[in-house]
Amino acid sequence: MTHFQDKAYLVTGASSGIGLATTRALLAQGATVAAVGLPDRLLDDAKSQLSGAPTFLEADVSKSVMVDSAFAQAEAELGPLSGAFNAAGISSVAPIAETSDELWQKLIRVNLSGTFHFARAAARTLSSNGGGSLVCTAIELSLVGQAGHTAYTATKGGVLSMMRSLAAELAPAGVRVNALSPGTTDTPMLVAEFANEEERARDEASVPMGRFALPRSNNPRFPWKPSTPR
């Protein structure tokens, strides 16, 4: 029996990348999972890839009503949640002079407001359940910065600040709050940023290990492959 056996979790951004990998890993450990994603092709693909009978829910994290509904539906179907992980997010590569108001607002709506909507719903739910684990995804660039990512890193830096405050606020309720700041990870969102293979190769060569991280675990207990070819 594992630590996750028969416990219920909610994962956003579960239709691809790190969210999909997390969902698969939790299922492999015997957990029940509410896999939340946008109603699009990626979510349909995830339904065909995942075994372990996750509960699929459609929600846009930028809309608080949908997030609240996803948490309520997850508990109605799976029982009290033991944890929640927010992997939903979008990225953009553009010099600040070429970043439109529309793009800026979109990044804020999804990455920052979306995280707030998730964290608020998770805080209410897990506090009522007597505790649990609340995890949100930031990014290493929130800490080190990179040209062309000003708007994106601003929203993710806000996630880090939000999680620090929330960790102090929810500790008395038994809720552990953490933020993940992964390095460059080979996901569909990353692939969409590259104009061509040459650009990808230059970026990958800049990583000290000479390769991007993978969303999947290298643990042999989870012997599955990435959903997209390298």
Of the residues 21, 152, 166, 227, which is catalytic? 152
How buried is residue 9: exposed, middle or buried, by Cβ count under 10 Å (0-12/13-18/19+)? buried
Residue pair 16/42 in contact by the 8 Å Cβ criterion: yes
Nearest of 8, 80, 22, 12 to residue 43 by alpha carbon: 12
9 noted as active-site residue:
no
Catalytic residue numbers, as ranges: 152
